[in-house]
Amino acid sequence: MQLLQELCKVHAPAGNEVALKNYILNYIEANKSTWNTQPEIYHGEGFQDCIVLKFGKPRTTIYAHMDSIGFTVKYGKELVKIGGPVLEEGTILVGEDSQGKIEAELVVIEDENGKKHPEYIFDREIERGTELVYKPNWREDESFVQCCYMDNRLGVWNALEVAKTLENGVIAFSCWEEHGGGSVGYLAKFIYEQWGVTQNLISDITWVTEGVKHGKGVAISMRDSGIPRRSYLNKIIALAQESNIPFQLEVEGAGGSDGNQLQHSPFPMDWLFIGAPEDHVHSANEKVHKKDIEAMVQLYQFLMQKL
């Protein structure tokens, strides 16, 4: 879990993923010699802060978004949400502006109309436009790992674990997912035009709910705000049953992922969201069961061989 712990520390709110991009590129450079297949690496001009790894003769792409939720400093003590962070009084937020490092406290102010909005407490005014993110507090025991930004550093970690043994496939590390997406459209275009890949898996984290529990396996989402093509969904469920790897079926009417961006793309893309469920979603205390993490990696490895 050391790599996951390090990934959770990297400052990469939506729109400013460059630090995590560089961390991942350095990790790949340091470790790819031990991988079964040496990938072609695409990044830089034309990719903004995204990364594409191509292994062998690809048939399927794994998408993992790099960005996190957080806050942007507005005027005075006001904060504007990046994505949908939970507003919990007393949460510690960290960042940096031209005057130095910042460790501030989140407070929730209610106006005369009963509307709540976030502000910060700090010993000086923070420069407008500064991004603040949750301060990492890693906790681990025999069964669980808990920290901010399991969504989606765990999805990134899963993709890097799969990369170790992947022979044929594409891994795409995307940006902006937490705040509306936008990078997946041009990544899908590149991958489709270069290699004709139309099958996609979304390596992301979902919710613990009344129907999806801790420790019962990785969740295969039958739908959320987007609806994947049923024949592709059925194909993957059949493979998951064949694998004997623990999994749960999820059905939701809200939430979304890079899969929604693929569904809106002008290319014939099939996609499916497969991820471990977490508790305390979009807070500083996201919690995931280790059995579900293990099942996530195993199922992705199996599917990338079979699809």
Residue 194 has pLDDT above 90, yes or no: yes
Mean pLDDT of the chain: 97
**Number of CB atoms found within 10 A of residue 129's CB:** 10
238, HSE (Cβ side, Cα atoms, 13 Å): 8
- Residue 215: DSSP 8-state: T
Tokens of 231: 């024949």
List beta partners, residue 41: 53
Residues 159 and 92 in one domain: no
Q: What is the pLDDT of residue 38?
A: 97
Predicted local distance difference test score (pLDDT) of residue 17: 98
My answer on whether 59 and 105 are in the same domain is no
**CA distance readout (Å), 38 to 22, 52, 53, 164:** 19, 13, 9, 9
Q: Is 167 left (phi over 0), alpha (psi -120 to 50) or beta?
A: alpha
Residue 111's pLDDT is 86
- 222 & 192 share domain: yes
pLDDT value for 181: 85
Whether residues 94 and 226 share a domain: the answer is no
Name the domain boundary from 119, 134, 149: 134
Are 195 and 289 part of one and the same domain? yes
- CATH number for the domain harbouring residue 86: 2.40.30.40
Residue 16: what pLDDT?
Answer: 98
Pick the last residue of a domain from 92, 113, 134.
134
The mean per-residue pLDDT over the stretch 57-81 comes to 97
Q: In what order do the strands lie in the sheet with 100-110?
A: 79-82, 70-73, 131-134, 92-97, 100-110, 116-121
Q: What is the mean pLDDT of residues 71-97?
A: 97
Alpha-carbon torsion, ordered 290, 135, 74, 204, to 10 deg: -10
Residues in the chain: 307
Q: Are residues 181 and 245 in the same domain?
A: yes
The pLDDT tens digits for 110-162 are: 988 888 899 999 999 999 999 999 999 999 999 999 999 999 999 999 999 99
Judge contact between 273 and 64, C-beta under 8 A.
no
Model confidence at 29, pLDDT cuts 50, 70, 90, reads very high
User: What pLDDT was estimated at residue 182?
Assistant: 86
pLDDT in the model for residue 292? 98
Three-state SS at 116:
strand
pLDDT at 153: 98
Number of Cβ within a 10 Å radius of residue 174: 29
Separation CA 234–CA 10 (nearest Å): 37
282 and 190 belong to one structural domain = yes
Verify that 40 and 91 share a domain, yes or no: no
Q: Which amino acid is at 273?
A: F
Question: Rounded mean pLDDT of 102-111?
Answer: 95
Range of the domain at 36: 2-68+139-306
3-state secondary structure of 97: strand
If asked whether residues 116 and 228 sit together in one domain, one would say no
Domain boundary among 82, 109, 134: 134
Tell me the percentage of the chain whose pLDDT exceeds 70: 100
Distances in whole angstroms, Cα of residue 27 to Cα of each of 66, 126, 169, 190: 14, 32, 19, 24
CATH code for position 271: 3.40.630.10
The pLDDT tens digits of the residues spanning 266-289 come to: 999 999 999 999 999 999 999 999
- Number of structural domains found in the chain: 2
What spatial distance separates the first Cα and last Cα of the chain, rounded to whole Å? 28
Distance CA(264)–CA(257), nearest Å, equals 12
Same domain, 49 and 103: no
3-class secondary-structure state, position 8: helix
Residue 114: per-residue pLDDT: 87
Tell me, yes or no, whether 62 and 95 share the same domain.
no
Residues 80, 60 within the same domain = no
